[in-house]
Amino acid sequence: SEERSNNFIEDIIEKDIADGKHGGRVHTRFPPEPNGFLHIGHAKSICLNFGLARRFGGKCNLRFDDTNPAKEKADYVASIKEDIKWLGFEWAEEHFASDYFEQLYQYALQLIRDGHAYVDDASAEEIARLKGTPTEPGKESPCRNRSVEENLDLFERMRKGEFREGEKVLRAKIDMASPNMHLRDPLMYRIKFAHHHRTGDNWCIYPMYDFAHGQSDSMEAITHSICTLEFVVHRPLYDWFIEKLNIFPSKQYEFARLNLSYTVMSKRKLLQLVEEKIVDGWDDPRMPTISAFRRRGYTPASIRDFCEKVGVQRRDNMIDVSLLEYCIREDLNKTATRVMAVLDPVKLVISNYPENSFEEMETDNNPEDPSAGTRKVPFGRELYIEREDFMENPPKKFFRLAVGNMVRLKSAYIVKCENFEKDADGNITVIYCSYIPESRSSQDTSGLKVKGTIHWLSAAHAKQAEVRLYDRLFLTENPAGEEADFRELVNPDSLQVIPDAMIEPSLAEAKPGDRFQFMRKGYFCADMDSREGKPVFNRTVTLKDTWAK
Ligand code: ATP
Ligand code: MG
Ligand code: MG
């Protein structure tokens, strides 16, 4: 891999290793909540956490952060595992925070016994009102000085289901005057009579994120718990619980979350796009999810490369989606077979080429990779070319077809445009050319120099395909940051379906996931909607590179 300087988290880890902290052990974790599919922001976190473990000879756990019963589903668990594996990573241990419910409950009892937690009868509104403001201290709840015995009794009865939702909560007893609002007696448990995807109806009290996350890290002896910047203000609480419980001292470190232009990234918003059928599911190729990028034709290597190029920042910023497009182009340029496909076909007839006669033209599979070899493409008198490669009234410097112009047909002959026909609506229906027999590619003795080369297909051999062209899903760079509802900013032209594009015969057998470069048109990937004899291709990315290196 490329030489590059450390990011700040690598600096921290190198120092910890040098100091012999935890015996030089490095153990990270990736902790998704199974309430949606993973997106490209999660890919950043995956590459970082698994990458650090790999680089420092450590381990990375997968932990499902499933402490919130209402929104979590087993389907999401399966998709998350698939996506991590696809990205090329393997977790050391698989855990579910819900497996820790009993231990977390025991920790809560311990804190109550040590006078660090209490049951509060106040309503959510009352608690919020007494919390104060960042500039004004909060007020202590009347329940704050309950005896240990009373707190133990009430908390055990909370667990048994003796109280209604909202009737009682368990709070940490810290400091109602702390300048950090998260230390003003934060909630540890609330009552929720909700069915959990793994623990069923065993529990009617559920731990809050702040009480579950650090303790889960500690139980797994995680050395470096990496999360995004919004948790900086939670860190003192993370440390407080660990210190009061006197358990393994995991440490939290924060980096900037990845934001990508022209999309939204919160799972809540992505779920809305799916549920309101604005897109066709979580893996709709326009979505920023890992499964959508996979379906669209992105490679795992390109996404890992993107995450590496983005780096690890300490401040929030917006990454231009064209950097991601640059990464997939770089990868596919090296690996994708070049083929000819005509997306908007018009007939071209070579008047001086014999009827019912065909020959095979040899063409490179990938000029970037000589080991990719060559293949034969059938050629004949009647061809399809791209409608846009002909102009009735061409401007100067139009080097494609117009009456009197010459172009090279890729890997075949030079042709000269003689004439054309139009229908009653003015659409070009046929273009007539003559060909120069001595100009055959790789044995050209014609001495002619032409400026344009175009792709083509033999009309007698071409097969049909559906082609799906994608554009950005949103019209604005930061749809989540606008005043308008993000759903009103969806690009109405983000999907263009071409039902009857023409392709080389070999492509009719493409399997879902097969990737190609359609010459001059972009990189394409066969979609899972492909059927026998009727393939469907997604455009992964165009060929044009707009990213300034
Ligand atoms: P969302 O707001 O999209 O629901 P989340 O943080 O709630 O995101 P989790 O499933 O809890 O989603 O995230 C799992 C891990 O991935 C967390 O450690 C989180 O910090 C990280 N993560 C989530 N989104 C991003 C992002 N945009 N960039 C970097 N890391 C992210
Ligand atoms: Mg989260
Ligand atoms: Mg979330």
Could you report the per-residue pLDDT of 70-105, keeping only the tens digit for each? 777 889 999 999 999 999 999 999 999 999 999 999
The span from the CA of 318 to the CA of 322, in Å, is 12
From the CA of 30, the nearest ligand is 1
Residue 265, marked binder: yes
| Mean pLDDT score, 451-480 | 97
The reported pLDDT for the residue numbered 546 is 55
Angle, helix 300-310 to helix 40-55, in steps of 10 degrees: 80
Q: From atom 10 of ligand 1, which residue's Cα is the shortest distance away?
A: 32
123-154 per-position pLDDT tens digit? 999 999 999 999 999 999 999 999 999 999 99
Contacts (Cβ under 8 Å, ≥6 apart) of 192 = 69, 70, 165, 204, 205, 206
Query: Which of 45, 224, 289 for mutating ligand 1's site (highest number of atoms within 8 Å of CB)?
Result: 45
The reported pLDDT for the residue numbered 519 is 97
Buried b (16+ CB within 10 A) or exposed e, 179-217: eeebbbbbbbbbbbeeebbbbeeebbbbbbbbbbbbbbb
Query: Which of 42, 72, 315 for mutating ligand 1's site (highest number of atoms within 8 Å of CB)?
Result: 42
Q: From atom 23 of ligand 1, which residue's Cα is the shortest distance away?
A: 42
pTM to 2 decimals? 0.95
Model confidence at 533: pLDDT above 90: no
| Mean pLDDT score, 474-483 | 95
DSSP, res 200: B
CA of 268 to the centre of ligand 1 (A): 12
Q: Is 1 exposed, middle or buried (0-12, 13-18, 19+ CB in 10 A)?
A: exposed
The reported pLDDT for the residue numbered 85 is 98
Residue 190, marked binder: no
332-355 per-position pLDDT tens digit? 999 999 999 999 999 999 999 999
Residue 35, marked binder: yes
* Surrounding residues of ion ligand 2, Cβ less than 5 A: 33
Q: From atom 22 of ligand 1, which residue's Cα is the shortest distance away?
A: 42
Q: From atom 14 of ligand 1, which residue's Cα is the shortest distance away?
A: 32
* Per-residue confidence band for 548, with pLDDT thresholds at 50, 70 and 90: very low
CA of 250 to the centre of ligand 2 (A): 18
Query: Which of 228, 260, 274 for mutating ligand 1's site (highest number of atoms within 8 Å of CB)?
Result: 228
CA of 273 to the centre of ligand 3 (A): 16
Residue 41, marked binder: yes
| Mean pLDDT score, 433-445 | 97
Model confidence at 395: pLDDT above 80: yes
Q: What percent of the chain has pLDDT over 90?
A: 96
Count other Cβ atoms within 10 Å, centred on residue 359: 14
What does the block give as tokens for 95? 């855990």
Domains identified in the chain and CATH numbers: 12-255 (3.40.50.620), 267-337+465-541 (2.40.240.10), 341-455 (2.40.240.10)
CA of 231 to the centre of ligand 2 (A): 10
Query: Considering only CA atoms, which of 512, 79, 119 is closest in space to residue 127?
Result: 119
The reported pLDDT for the residue numbered 18 is 97
The reported pLDDT for the residue numbered 547 is 47
Q: What percent of the chain has pLDDT over 70?
A: 99
Q: From atom 3 of ligand 1, which residue's Cα is the shortest distance away?
A: 266
The catalytic site residues sit at 33, 257, 267
Three-class DSSP category at 92: coil
Please, what is the average pLDDT of the chain? 96
Nearest-atom number in ligand 1 for the CA of 46 is 16
- Complex ipTM value: 0.96
The reported pLDDT for the residue numbered 5 is 85
CA of 379 to the centre of ligand 3 (A): 55
User: How far is Cα of residue 495 from the mean position of the Cα atoms in its chain?
Assistant: 18
Nearest-atom number in ligand 1 for the CA of 268 is 4
Query: Positive or negative CA dihedral for 182, 188, 190, 196?
Result: positive
Residue 115, marked binder: no
| Mean pLDDT score, 356-381 | 95
The reported pLDDT for the residue numbered 2 is 55
From the CA of 84, the nearest ligand is 1
294-329 per-position pLDDT tens digit? 999 999 999 999 999 999 999 999 999 999 999 999
From the CA of 266, the nearest ligand is 1
Residue 228, marked binder: yes
Contacts (Cβ under 8 Å, ≥6 apart) of 9 = 48, 52, 224, 226, 253, 255, 312
CA of 268 to the centre of ligand 3 (A): 7
506-525 per-position pLDDT tens digit? 899 999 999 999 999 999 99
* Per-residue confidence band for 544, with pLDDT thresholds at 50, 70 and 90: confident
* Per-residue confidence band for 244, with pLDDT thresholds at 50, 70 and 90: very high
40-73 per-position pLDDT tens digit? 999 999 999 999 999 999 999 999 999 998 777 8
Contacts (Cβ under 8 Å, ≥6 apart) of 440 = 412, 413
The reported pLDDT for the residue numbered 301 is 98
Q: From atom 26 of ligand 1, which residue's Cα is the shortest distance away?
A: 41
What does the block give as tokens for 509? 């057998």
